[in-house]
Chain A
Amino acid sequence: GAVVSQHPSRVICKSGTSVKIECRSLDFQATTMFWYRQFPKQSLMLMATSNEGSKATYEQGVEKDKFLINHASLTLSTLTVTSAHPEDSSFYICSARQGNTIYFGEGSWLTVV
């Protein structure tokens, strides 16, 4: 079964609105989770590291005020895309490590219209 779960799997939102994506670790605690983005026909790129109880660490070129990350508990990290634009349409996927294995969520397809 799934070790890391994401919700929603698909979401459509209007330009200018905000949308939240959840990433949950199931049956284990993850003090650190990771958010990746994948544009169509491209590879996955790390966006940020979500740290439980502290601020997220963003990769170069990722706007922290646009992509808000909250890691309020040991099993939940959320990514909020604020003031979404069509160019934010992408596949967003999170990961967490359990032991020596890095598990990914199912991913979330965001379409901004």
Chain B
Amino acid sequence: AQSVTQPDIHITVSEGASLELRCNYSYGATPYLFWYVQSPGQGLQLLLKYFSGDTLVQGIKGFEAEFKRSQSSFNLRKPSVHWSDAAEYFCAVAIGVFNEKLTFGTGTRLTIIP
């Protein structure tokens, strides 16, 4: 069965420092991968997605992610974080006939310190 693992439950980063959030997936077919961000008390906002093509994907808010098939990974990166980036981040893989259903990782909570 498909699964998504986010090894880091909580990460603390200084403002202005670089960030990498890890995501590993297990899926038999070619994965459709997503990163979403959830601010406290809010819904989900799509940061970026990967379907095919260039394995380095650019998203909103300065985020990028790299798909590495050999490592079954889709790590999220940002060169310089801002205090407003503090939130919960979810990696997800799309499943189903039309790749419409998502299996989510457990999430990584990002804290930004001054």
Residue in B42, B90, B99 whose beta carbon sits within 8 Å of that of A44 in the complex:
B90
Are A34 and B46 in contact, with the CB atoms below 8 A?
Answer: no
Chain A residues with CB under 8 Å of B46's CB are: 101-104
**With A43-B106, A100-B51, A102-B34 as given contacts, are A107 and B101 in contact (CB-CB < 8 Å)?**
no
CB within 8 A of B44: which of A46, A93, A101?
Answer: A93
Query: Given A100-B51, A102-B34, A102-B94, is A46 in contact with B103 using a C-beta cutoff of 8 Å?
Result: yes
- B102 and A107 form a contact (CB under 8 A): no
| B107 and A97 within 8 A (CB) | no
Interface residues of A in 11-56 (CB under 8 A from B): 32, 34, 36, 42-46, 49
Q: With A100-B51, A102-B94 in contact, is A49–B101 under 8 Å at CB? A: yes
Question: In the bound complex, what is the Cα–Cα distance between A33 and B90 (angstroms)?
Answer: 20
Interchain CB contact under 8 A, B43 and A101: no
Name the residue of chain A whose CB is nearest to the CB of B94: A102
Contact A34 B43 (CB under 8 A): no
Closest to A96 in B: B100
The answer to whether B49 touches A101, judged by C-beta atoms less than 8 angstroms apart, is yes
Residues of A within 8 A of B42 (CB): 106-107
Which residues does chain B contribute within 8 Å of A89, judged by CB atoms?
none
Does the CB pair A34–B104 fall under 8 Å? no
Contacts of A32 in B (CB 8 A): 98, 100
Residue from A44, A45, A100, A105 having most chain B Cβ neighbours under 10 A: A44
Using A101-B46, A103-B46 as known contacts, list a sample of 9 further A-B pairs with CB atoms less than 8 Å apart, ordered by residue number in A: A34-B102, A36-B102, A45-B104, A46-B101, A46-B102, A93-B44, A104-B46, A107-B44, A109-B41
Query: Can you list 11 A-B contacts (CB < 8 A)?
Result: A43-B105, A46-B102, A46-B103, A93-B44, A95-B102, A97-B98, A101-B49, A102-B100, A104-B46, A106-B42, A109-B41
Interface residues of A (CB under 8 A from B): 6, 32, 34, 36, 42-46, 49, 93, 95, 97, 100-107, 109
